[in-house]
Amino acid sequence: MKVISQNTAFGGMQGVFQHQSEACNCEMTFAVFVPPQAITKKRPVLWFLSGLTCTHANVMEKGEYRRLAAELGLIIVCPDTSPRGNDVPDELTNWQMGKGAGFYLDATEMPWSEHYRMYTYVTEELPALIGEHFRADMTRQGIFGHSMGGHGAMTIALKNPDRFKSCSAFAPIVEPSTADWSAPALEKYLGSDKANWRAYDACALVQDGARFPEFLIDQGKADSFLESGLRPWLFEDAIQGTGIGLTLRMHERYDHSYYFISTFMDDHLRWHAERLA
């Protein structure tokens, strides 16, 4: 594991690291904020999954999480959104596919399947690295994300309810199998049989019996992607009668940007901290 950078912030450490990933068959970069309390005691881990076109750096630089994470004693892990490198397949003119658009799934179709195994990377390989090298209490993990990362957080939580104690999302893609900007990517990654897409679709997972105690979703009403890609009301409908709790907050005037995310970041950190206590 290479240290790319380490900086002191709010008494803790903000680091960026790089390692050779077996799951993604390339070098992967990730960011970790370790709070000052970790000097004496292992701390709970909160994963943040970023959205389309982003890297680990977007939330690290614009998410404004360090002050409260240091106060609450939370380790924040920010993976990249896809494999990277000259040998990694990509669609240069399509921002919804390839590099920056891994959708937190394990691709089964060539040429994508050789590298695009972000589900395995985020749920198996990177957690092992975090548990080994950082002062992390891996028995207390939460997960949240934005947009494509919100989709990833919700699907990962639904499939791993024994591992994660909390899940929230900013403007998530709740039903990617029918969304204009994600369905084409699922077909390329997973093939034309839509039955194979259901494992990476929050609404479909609930319909197929997956359960998680509760979710927090924040969504801006001025989000230009609301009607075509996000549609949180579909998840609200899907959980009816399941016992899954949902706090869905719709906000006037807020869009899809990190101005929106940073506004409600403290609410999400406190949500997770309460459930990871």
Residue 272 falls in the annotated catalytic set: no
Q: What is the DSSP string of 35-65?
A: -GGGGTS-EEEEEEE--TT--THHHHHHS--
56, 177, 223, 272: which one is catalytic? 223
Give me 188's structure tokens.
Answer: 């390329």
Maximum alpha-carbon separation in the chain: 51
How much is the CA Rg of the chain, to the nearest whole Å? 17
Torsion, Cα 59 148 54 122, to 10 degrees, reads: 80
Give yes or no for a contact between 32 and 15, defined as CB atoms under 8 angstroms apart. Answer: yes
d(CA 231, CA 174): 7
56, 115, 151, 256: which one is catalytic? 256
Give yes or no for a contact between 62 and 109, defined as CB atoms under 8 angstroms apart. Answer: no
50, 147, 166, 182: which one is catalytic? 147
Residue 223 falls in the annotated catalytic set: yes
Residue 151 falls in the annotated catalytic set: no
* Enzyme catalytic residues: 147, 223, 256
